[in-house]
Amino acid sequence: MKFSQMEYQRPNVDEMIEQYKQITERFPNCKNAKEQMKCILEHESTMKAYQTMSTLAYIHNSINTADEFYAQEKAFYNEKSPVIQEYEQAFLQVVYDSRFKKELEKELGTLFFENIKVALRSFSPEIIPLLQQENELTTEYQKLLASAKIEFDGKELNLSTITTYLQDLDRTVRKEAWKKCAAFFEEHAQKLDEIYDQLVKNRDEQARKLGYANYVQLGYDRLGRNCYRASDVKVFRDQIIRDLVPVTVTIRKMQAQRIGVDEVKLHDTGVSFTDGNPKPDGGTQELVSAAQKMYDEMSPKTSEFFTFMRENELFDLESKQNKAGGGYCTELPDYQSPFIFSNFNGTSGDVDVLTHEAGHAFAAYQARNMEIRENASTTMETAEVHSMTMELMARPWAELFFGNDAEKFRVFQLESALNFIPYGCLVDEFQHEVYENPRLTPQERKKLWLKLEKKYRPWLDFDNLPFFKDGGGFQKQHHIYCYPFYYIDYCLAQTVALEFWSKSNQDWKKAFDEYLAFVSAAGTKSFVQLIKDSELDSPFEDGCVKELSTEVVQWMERHRIK
């Protein structure tokens, strides 16, 4: 079914609650595992219907944040989702306590029950008002950023469309564009401080009411992390500081030489070549057509997937006023359909959407026939391996998107991958510090951000740029406000994706088949188990980062562009 034909109807929450009460009461009295499975499938059907409508409302609200109807619907889900979670959790508790657990494990897998255990400890009806407030605050933040109207070059731009000017070849234009962005954030700095301060205190209170020492482990549990801890992530971050940060300093020096500046300043970060960054050939339709050709040639499965996406118009790609920033892939379970949302702006990022978000969508499409959501859905770092590996698997088709700029894009892509990881680790360590010390003032958080900038990005010079020089840079990062602790998943996944890239340099077809196996497992295996089964090195093992970064740098030396 086409997206435009998917009819939205607000779910009847009272009916849902009654359904949950009935299956929760019925489940323990079932005579065997087969009867209990019927209850579990009823739960699946109920939640899929709810999630489909919730996601439809979310997509429409993202497309136009000024649409009052869908703004009200989003507010409805912000209020009701935590309430429904109470009844869903009550059902999952009786499932977890099942006297037929061993038989159910044969049907559902042991990880299914491990995931329930993690979910159960991260919720209590007592915190419903806090969850509702948290939803309201993140919505307020997203709406504030989406409201940006930046006058520049005779145009009214938003935070997505001004990106083109942040990458302009004229250094003066770039700096002025950065100043305009800084001015928007400076204008709203107090409100941004207030929202984040309330979010931190809200999440800390949730954690303490649930019996956690602070929000850190609760944040991990909310993300369903079932095979590693904060201490493992620290081992990874320490590798990045020791083995990758010095490499990125060298990469930035190479960048400075290429673009003819003494050192890279904040307003130079967006430009990698004297004749400009690689730009895609053509507009939205041309790029989507190029993506179709690529996926047709890549494999029968990817061809079928992307054809389905196009035929059912499961994209909203072009930037427009009042559209939420960023990009994402989501799912509409009852229609077995992924959906890709983005803000095309004429940069190479447009192509990234058609590989990265399409990587998420491809994984969702592959898992569409799985009856059990918990087994179809992966943890976030695994999901990001799906998307980031697809970006790198698409490299042989770069000419379709970039023409003569294809080789430049391949260099740019790998440089960007390495440069990103320290920034992602900066975001992660910042959040650990913030939630371990929830009483920090807004000013102290900004000082902390600046301190960590020096640790992870020692090459960066803010050139006295307002807002950013004072440590406000974290406030433009959606994930810090809306998805705490998610950001390190990109770093872990980028590391694993680079391992797949390394394999593809030896044998692309073999590497792609191994990637397909990784994707096809969906949520039936943990992140660590998937890495082991794919015969990859774990990012949590010392030495993994050094070996990978050395290989990438050697590749870049062989393909150096002046």
pLDDT per residue as tens digits for the range 202-256: 999 999 999 999 999 999 999 999 999 999 999 999 999 999 999 999 999 999 9
pLDDT of residue 293: 99
- 279-309 pLDDT, tens digit per residue, is 999 999 999 999 999 999 999 999 999 999 9
Which H or E run includes 151? Answer: strand 150-152
| Residue 104, both tokens | 């159910």
Please state whether beta strands 150-152 and 337-344 pair in parallel, antiparallel, or not at all (unpaired).
unpaired
- 40-74 pLDDT, tens digit per residue, is 999 999 999 999 999 999 999 999 999 999 999 99
Task: Judge whether residue 562 has pLDDT over 80.
Answer: no
Which residues fall within 8 angstroms of residue 164, CB to CB, at 6 or more apart? 345, 346, 347
pLDDT of residue 560: 85
Task: Judge whether residue 561 has pLDDT over 90.
Answer: no
Task: Judge whether residue 103 has pLDDT over 80.
Answer: yes
- 157-198 pLDDT, tens digit per residue, is 999 889 989 999 999 999 999 999 999 999 999 999 999 999
State the CB neighbour count (10 A cutoff) for residue 172. 9
Residues 235/223, Cβ–Cβ less than 8 Å: no
- 339-372 pLDDT, tens digit per residue, is 999 999 899 999 999 999 999 999 999 999 999 9
pLDDT of residue 292: 99
pLDDT of residue 325: 85
Mean pLDDT of the chain: 97
- 389-431 pLDDT, tens digit per residue, is 999 999 999 999 999 999 999 999 999 999 999 999 999 999 9
| Residue 556, both tokens | 């870049």
Residues 293/400, Cβ–Cβ less than 8 Å: yes
Q: How many residues does the chain have?
A: 562
Q: Percent of the chain at pLDDT above 90?
A: 96
pLDDT of residue 256: 95
In angstroms, the CA 347 to CA 280 distance is: 7
**pLDDT band for position 501 (cuts 50, 70, 90):** very high
Q: Where are the domains of the chain?
A: 3-127
